[in-house]
Amino acid sequence: MKTEIILVLAAVQLAYGVINRINASEYARLPPLYRLDDFDGCLLAPGDKYCYFDGKILDGDSDLHTLVKEYSANLRTHFDHTLFHWGLCVTQTCRQYYGNSTVEDALDACINATLYESHQLQAKLVRNNIFCTDFGEEDPYDTSDYVVAAVFLTLLMLNIFGTGHDLFFRTNKGFLSRLLLCFSLRRNWKKLVMPSGEGPEPKLKSLKCLNGLKAMTTFLVILGHSPLTGFIAVGNPQYQEEIYHKVFFQVLLNGTLIVQTFFTISGFLLAYNILVTSEKRRVSWRTLPQGIFVRWLRLTPVYAVIIAFISTWLRHLSSGPLWKPVVNTEVLDCRRDWWLHLLYIDNYVDLSQCMPQSWYISGDMQLSIIGMAIFCLCQGPRSRKIAITIAFVIGLITPAAHTFFQNLHAVLIVSPEMAIHFFVEDLTFNNLYKRGHTNLVCYAMGLALGMLMYDLYGQEDTKDKKNHRLLFWAAFPVGLGLVMLGMIFYIDDYEPCNQSCIAAAALEEQANLLLNENGIQNLMMEQSAVFRGILEWQGWTAISRVSYCAYLIHICVIRCSLADYTSLQHISFYYIVVGPCARSVRITTTILLANPAVKQQCLHCCVAAWRTLNYCSVVCVTFMLSAPCWLLVESPVAQLIKLCLDRGNRTKPDINIKAAPPKWKDQEISNSVETVVVKTSL
Ligand SMILES: *[C@@H]1O[C@H](CO)[C@@H](O)[C@H](O)[C@H]1NC(C)=O
Ligand SMILES: *[C@@H]1O[C@H](CO)[C@@H](O)[C@H](O)[C@H]1NC(C)=O
Ligand SMILES: *[C@@H]1O[C@H](CO)[C@@H](O)[C@H](O)[C@H]1NC(C)=O
Ligand SMILES: CC(=O)N[C@H]1CO[C@H](CO)[C@@H](O)[C@@H]1O
C-alpha cells in the first residue's frame, strides 16, 4: 500500500516536471520581476526621490515577448512576468527623464528605455500603483495619532497603578481598588500561566484538550502564513515557482483547509457550553442579545487597540523602499474600514488590505450569532436538531452555488500573484473562503457534534465508540490523501472542469468535516490517551490564552518584516529551513575571525541572518508581542467587563440556582460566554 502511494506521488511529480516548465537559460532571458535600487544611497540631498511601482510589459512581436506571455499564462504557480515591481531611485537611475516632466511620465519613459535597452521589450507604468518617497519626508503626526497615544498611555498608567496597588496595598475592598486590580500585571501573569480546566464544572473540564488543539492550530496558521514573506522582493522568483512542484510544499498550500477545523471547533464549543449552562439557567430568546453583546464586548477591546495602532502609529515605525506599498496601504485601508471591523462585517467587503486575516473573526462572530439564535430560539432538542439540519443543508448548497455561478476555484489557490497582495483580490477568497455563510456547513456540524457529545457525556464504552476508534486512526492517512488531492489544482495547464471542481470541493469538504468530527469526538471521549496527553500539556494553556492576540497581530508582523527589506532576498531551502541556526554559527565564526577581509562578509552575513530570522521568526515575534498584548489589554479588559457586569449583583450567586428567574444571571452569562469566547476566539 505504502509503495503504491509513493509510486503515485512520484508519477504526479513527474507529470508536474514535464509540463510547461522552462530551463534556467530560458528563464534568465525573462526581464527581472523585482528590482530594488539602494534606498539609503538614493535619498541623500534635497530633491532626491525614490519610487516603488508596478510596470506592465507592452505587447510586441518579439520572440522574448511570446515567451513572457506564455510563461505568465499559468498564474496558478507562476508570477505574472508581464507585470514587474521595481523600486527605482528616480533622481539617479532616471535622471535624464526627470527634468521637466512629472514623476509618472519620467518613470514611464525611463522603464521603457531601460527595458528596451536590456531586453528589447516595451513597457509602461501602471499609474495608480506608485509609491514615492522624498528626501527628508516625514509623515506628519495628526490628531488621531495623539488620541491613540493618549489612550495607550492611559492603559499603561492603569497597568502601572494597578500593579503598584497590588504590590503595596493588597486590598480588594471597594470598586475602585477592584478596578485597579484588574490591571495588576502580577495577577494577570498568574492568570496567564495558571493551569486550565480548574473550574467547578466537570463537563467543561473535558474541554481541556481543546486548549492544545487551539494552540497548535494557531501555531500552524502563523507558520503557514509566514511563507508570505517569500513572495515580495524575491531575487530568484523561479525558486518560489518551483516550490509548487514539491510535495512537501503542497501540504502547506493545502493547509488552507485547516480553517474549517476552527469553525467546527467553534460551533462545537458554543453548543456544548450553552447546553452545560442551560442545566442551571433557562436559555430563552431574551438571552440572545445579551449573549451577543457580551461576546462583542469580550472580543472587541483588544481588537480595537490593535486596529488603532495599525491605523496610526504603525506608519511611523520605519521607512524603506517597501514600507509604503506594503504597510501604508494597510494603514490607509484601516483608517477607512476600521468600523466595519469593529462591527464584524468586514468579511463582506472586498479589496481592503486592513487586517486581511480578520475575516475569520468576523465569520466566527456571524456564525456564533446564528448558533446562539438556534439554541436560544429553539427550546427542545428536537427543534434544535431540525434547525441545525436546515442550517447544514443551506451551508452545503451555498458554496457549491457560489463555485458554480461565479466560476470560482474549488479550493483557495495560493498563487504567487495573489499572495503578493494577501489574497484580497482573489475571487475565490472573497466570495467563497472568507464569507460567513459559506462556512456555515462546518459550523452546523460543530453544533451537532456539541449536542451529540453532551448527550454522550459519561456514557459507558459502547460498540459505537469502538468503531469511532477505528475511524480515528484511519483519519491520518485519509487526511493526508485529501491534502494531496488538492495538488490537482496546481498542475500546470490542467483546467478541471467546473462540475468536477464542485464535486471535488464538496468531497474534500465533507471528508474533512468527518475527520474533524471524529477527531474531536475521540479526543473528548478520552479514546486516544497519547493525543490527549499531548494536547492537555500545560504548556499549551498559556499559548492558547494569547492565541487571539497572536492571530490579530501576526499578519502585521509579516508585513513589517516584509516592508523592512531594503534589497532583494534570495530564497532557498537553506534560507527557509536551516538558515537561522547555520547562519548564526557562521556569523559567530566570522566575528571570531575578526579579520578585516571578512568584515565585509560579516556585514553581509548579518544582513542575511536578519532577513532569515525575519522569515522564520514570524512565529516567535508574534507570540512575544502577543503576551504583553494579553497581559496589558486583553486580560484586564476582560476582568473589567466582568467586574462591571457583576456590579449589579454584589451578593454571591445562590447555590440553589433552580429558584433563579428564567434568565441567565449576569455573572453566569459572563462566565459562560467568556468560556465560549475565550475558547472559540480562535
Ligand atoms: C533550454 O530550452 C530552449 C528552448 O526549449 C533550448 O533551445 C535550449 O537549448 C535549452 N537549454 C538547455 C541548456 O537545455
Ligand atoms: C526642460 O525644458 C527646457 C526648456 O523648456 C529644455 O531646454 C530642456 O532640455 C528640458 N530638459 C529635459 C531634461 O527635458
Ligand atoms: C519605448 O522605447 C522605444 C525605443 O526607444 C520606442 O520606440 C517606443 O516608442 C517606446 N514606447 C513607448 C510606449 O514609449
Ligand atoms: C441586586 C440583585 O440583583 N441581587 C440579586 C443577586 O443574585 C441573587 C441570586 O443569585 C438574587 O437573589 C439577588 O436578588
Task: Evaluate: CB of 455 within 6 angstroms of ligand 4.
Answer: no
Atom from ligand 3 closest to the CA of residue 113? 2
Planar angle of CA 291, 293, 297, nearest 5 degrees: 120
Least confident among 14-18, 47-51, 99-103, 619-623: 14-18
Q: Which of 134, 167, 199 is the last residue of a domain?
A: 134
Q: Which residues pair with 55 in a beta bridge?
A: 84, 125
Q: Is the domain of 277 the same as that of 221?
A: yes
Q: Which of the four pLDDT bands, split at 50, 70 and 90, describes residue 407?
A: confident
Q: Is the domain of 436 the same as that of 541?
A: yes
Among all bound ligands, the one having the nearest atom to the CA of 25 is 1
For a mutational test of ligand 2's pocket, the pick from 95, 100, 103, 108, i.e. the residue with the most ligand atoms closer than 8 A to its C-beta, is 100
Atom from ligand 4 closest to the CA of residue 667? 10
Q: Is the domain of 645 the same as that of 517?
A: yes
Q: Which of 134, 167, 200 is the last residue of a domain?
A: 134
Atom from ligand 3 closest to the CA of residue 124? 13
CA distance 42 to 416: 29
Task: Evaluate: CB of 280 within 6 angstroms of ligand 4.
Answer: no
Q: Is the domain of 189 the same as that of 82?
A: no
Atom from ligand 4 closest to the CA of residue 665? 10
Q: What are phi and psi of 623, to 5 degrees?
A: -70, -30
Q: What pLDDT, on the 0 to 100 scale, is given for residue 421? A: 86
DSSP conformation class of 93: H
Alpha carbon 43 to its chain centroid, in Å, reads 35
pLDDT tens-digit profile of 97-111? Answer: 888 788 999 999 999
Q: How far, in Å, from the CA of 84 to the mean position of ligand 2?
A: 29
Among all bound ligands, the one having the nearest atom to the CA of 55 is 3
Q: Is the domain of 542 the same as that of 475?
A: yes
Q: What pLDDT, on the 0 to 100 scale, is given for residue 663? A: 35
Backbone angle region of 320, left / alpha / beta, with phi > 0 → left and psi within -120 to 50 → alpha: left
Q: Does residue 58 belong to any structural domain of this protein?
A: yes
Q: Does residue 265 belong to any structural domain of this protein?
A: yes
Atom from ligand 2 closest to the CA of residue 97? 13
Q: How far, in Å, from the CA of 57 to the mean position of ligand 3?
A: 12
Least confident among 367-371, 420-424, 521-525, 553-557: 521-525
Segment 465-488 shows an average pLDDT of: 60
Task: Evaluate: CB of 653 within 6 angstroms of ligand 4.
Answer: yes
Q: Which residues pair with 34 in a beta bridge?
A: 85
Q: Is the domain of 535 the same as that of 451?
A: yes
Task: Evaluate: CB of 40 within 6 angstroms of ligand 4.
Answer: no
Residue 241 belongs to domain spanning: 181-555+619-675
Residues having CB closer than 6 A to ligand 3 are 112-113, 116, 122, 124
Segment 402-417 shows an average pLDDT of: 82
Task: Evaluate: CB of 651 within 6 angstroms of ligand 4.
Answer: yes
CA distance 366 to 263: 11
CA distance 232 to 333: 20
Q: Which of the four pLDDT bands, split at 50, 70 and 90, describes residue 245?
A: confident
pLDDT at 527 over 60: no
Atom from ligand 3 closest to the CA of residue 108? 14
Q: How far, in Å, from the CA of 614 to the mean position of ligand 2?
A: 45
Q: Does residue 577 belong to any structural domain of this protein?
A: no
Q: What pLDDT, on the 0 to 100 scale, is given for residue 674? A: 37
Q: What pLDDT, on the 0 to 100 scale, is given for residue 486? A: 62
pLDDT at 578 over 50: no
Residue of 149 and 462 predicted with greater confidence: 149
Q: How far, in Å, from the CA of 26 to the mean position of ligand 1?
A: 7
Q: Does residue 574 belong to any structural domain of this protein?
A: no
Segment 158-170 shows an average pLDDT of: 88
Q: Which of 134, 149, 173 is the last residue of a domain?
A: 134
Beta-strand (E) ranges in 9-48?
A: 34-36
Q: Does residue 162 belong to any structural domain of this protein?
A: no
pLDDT at 495 over 70: no
Q: Is the domain of 265 the same as that of 196?
A: yes
Q: Does residue 578 belong to any structural domain of this protein?
A: no
Atom from ligand 2 closest to the CA of residue 101? 14
Q: What pLDDT, on the 0 to 100 scale, is given for residue 521? A: 59
CA distance 364 to 146: 33
Q: Does residue 350 belong to any structural domain of this protein?
A: yes
Least confident among 86-95, 279-288, 606-615, 660-669: 660-669
Q: What pLDDT, on the 0 to 100 scale, is given for residue 138? A: 84
Beta-strand (E) ranges in 135-198?
A: none
| Mean confidence (pLDDT) of the chain | 77
Q: Is the domain of 112 the same as that of 187?
A: no
Q: Does residue 76 belong to any structural domain of this protein?
A: yes
Nearest-CA residue for atom 3 of ligand 4 = 649
Task: Evaluate: CB of 406 within 6 angstroms of ligand 4.
Answer: no
Among all bound ligands, the one having the nearest atom to the CA of 653 is 4
Residues having CB closer than 6 A to ligand 1 are 23, 25-26
**Domains contained in the chain, number:** 2
CA distances from 219 to 95, 442, 543 (A): 48, 21, 9
Q: How far, in Å, from the CA of 234 to the mean position of ligand 1?
A: 24
pTM greater than 0.85 (yes/no): no
Q: Is the domain of 235 the same as that of 104?
A: no
For a mutational test of ligand 4's pocket, the pick from 280, 651, 669, i.e. the residue with the most ligand atoms closer than 8 A to its C-beta, is 651
Nearest-CA residue for atom 6 of ligand 2 = 100
Q: Is the domain of 257 the same as that of 368?
A: yes
Q: What pLDDT, on the 0 to 100 scale, is given for residue 210? A: 74
Residue of 457 and 118 predicted with greater confidence: 118
CA distances from 618 to 172, 295, 331, 364, 551 (A): 40, 29, 20, 24, 12
Q: Is the domain of 520 the same as that of 389?
A: yes
pLDDT tens-digit profile of 295-325? Answer: 999 899 999 999 999 999 998 888 889 999 9
Q: What pLDDT, on the 0 to 100 scale, is given for residue 460? A: 56
Q: Could you give the angle at which helices 258-277 and 208-225 cross, rounded to 10 degrees?
A: 150
Task: Evaluate: CB of 200 within 6 angstroms of ligand 2.
Answer: no
Q: Is the domain of 129 the same as that of 200?
A: no
Least confident among 41-55, 183-197, 378-392, 597-611: 597-611
Q: How far, in Å, from the CA of 111 to the mean position of ligand 2?
A: 20
